[in-house]
A = this chain, B = another copy of it.
């Protein structure tokens, strides 16, 4: 593990009522990217409704990475920033075309995987967030789905089956190779892993069968960087 020491690196992460509970899928992409680059950041807890605390970034979502005087938001742009800023640390993308193709994986994670997992865990998320965030969370999500949170997740077995089908391209890939990027994980892997950390930290529902190649891949990434993801706090709610 190469440890570089920048002047100052701060990561704003979504936190639950318990400030140590950090479950955002996008923040997890960034945490894995930082570890891949051998970087450590001061990780500041942030709640959905604390918009003013990250207003300096020009927008209202996390992750926000602050490096010296520069703020970078959006997990994809943070990964691009890290790749450019730390060219001598292990690459997140391989070559330039690898970076472009990885964007497809990120788009798939955000447009397919996050929605499919949210249909299982959305009410669990509501249960772990800070009380002051709950009205915002419920109203914004119920507007997005056009139904109550309770109804979004009402048929868990059917939603888990939907998720299983949505994972087909990932599963087929991981039958042939250990990681999306081959023998070692790159940012493409962290893009798809982030949503699984979201579920692991905020929900007690198991999304995968133990004989699923996606399960084995997730295990490998839980173990990466000396168990960084495996040792992260999770909810204890039953």
B180 touches A104 (CB 8 A): yes
A139 close to chain B: CB less than 8 A: no
Contacts of A169 in B (CB 8 A): 104, 107-108, 110-112
A105 contacts which of B101, B112, B181 (Cβ < 8 Å)? B101
A74 to chain B, nearest CB (A): 12
B172 touches A107 (CB 8 A): yes
Q: Mark A98-127, 1 if CB is under 8 A from B, else 0.
A: 111111110110111000000000000000
State the majority secondary structure of interface residues on A. helix
Q: Which residue of B lies closest to A192 (CB)?
A: B104
Q: How many copies of this chain sit in the oligomeric assembly?
A: 2
A69 to chain B, nearest CB (A): 27
A186 close to chain B: CB less than 8 A: yes
A165 to chain B, nearest CB (A): 9
A177 close to chain B: CB less than 8 A: yes
Q: A111-B168, A112-B168, A168-B112 are in contact. Are A173 and B98 (CB under 8 A)?
A: no
B96 touches A177 (CB 8 A): no
Q: Which residue of B lies closest to A113 (CB)?
A: B169
A176 close to chain B: CB less than 8 A: yes
Contacts of A93 in B (CB 8 A): 97
Q: Which residue of B lies closest to A112 (CB)?
A: B169
A141 to chain B, nearest CB (A): 19
Q: A112-B169, A168-B112 are in contact. Are A186 and B97 (CB under 8 A)?
A: yes
- Measured CA separation A98–B177 after assembly (Å): 13
A94 close to chain B: CB less than 8 A: yes
Contacts of A102 in B (CB 8 A): 101
A179 contacts which of B100, B180, B182 (Cβ < 8 Å)? B100
Contacts of A111 in B (CB 8 A): 168-169, 172
Given A101-B186, A104-B173: 15 more A-B contacts, CB < 8 Å: A94-B94, A94-B96, A96-B182, A98-B98, A100-B181, A101-B101, A101-B180, A101-B182, A103-B173, A104-B104, A104-B170, A104-B180, A111-B169, A111-B172, A112-B169
Can you report 8 A-B residue pairs in the complex whose CB atoms are below 8 A from each other?
A94-B96, A94-B101, A97-B181, A97-B184, A98-B101, A99-B182, A100-B181, A104-B173
